[in-house]
Amino acid sequence: MNKLLSTFAVLSVTAMVLTGCNTPGERAVGGGVIGAGAGALAGQAIGGNTRSTVAGALIGGAAGSLIGAASAPGRCRYQEVDSRGRPVYDNYGRPVTFEDRCQ
């Protein structure tokens, strides 16, 4: 019981630390770690042996990485506008744009 409680505590702290990551790569790593831990716990609970634990960790890590990377906030390109809401263009007639997080 104490081992299960300490494992759960470590996974909870790891999940809290990794939730602040924002780039797709960081989110994929964080999701993989969380997924592997959850998969290992589930594999051990279901199968009760080392093979089940390893299989659960592999499946959970892969799923967590995919979900973490897919859930990262994207970047969007916006066109600059003046105070009246009209598009701004540079000296060559190209629209002035900037990148920021998607809203």
Give yes or no for a contact between 40 and 58, defined as CB atoms under 8 angstroms apart: no
Model confidence pLDDT, tens digit, residues 21-79: 566 777 888 888 889 989 998 998 998 898 999 999 999 999 998 888 887 777 677 88
Q: Please state, as a whole number, how many other Cβ atoms lie within 10 Å of the Cβ of residue 41.
A: 18
- Is the pTM of the predicted complex or chain greater than 0.75? no
Predicted local distance difference test score (pLDDT) of residue 68: 84
For the chain, which residues make up each domain, given as ranges?
Answer: 2-72, 74-103
Sign (positive or negative) of CA dihedral 35, 15, 46, 70: negative
Sign (positive or negative) of CA dihedral 56, 62, 65, 71: negative
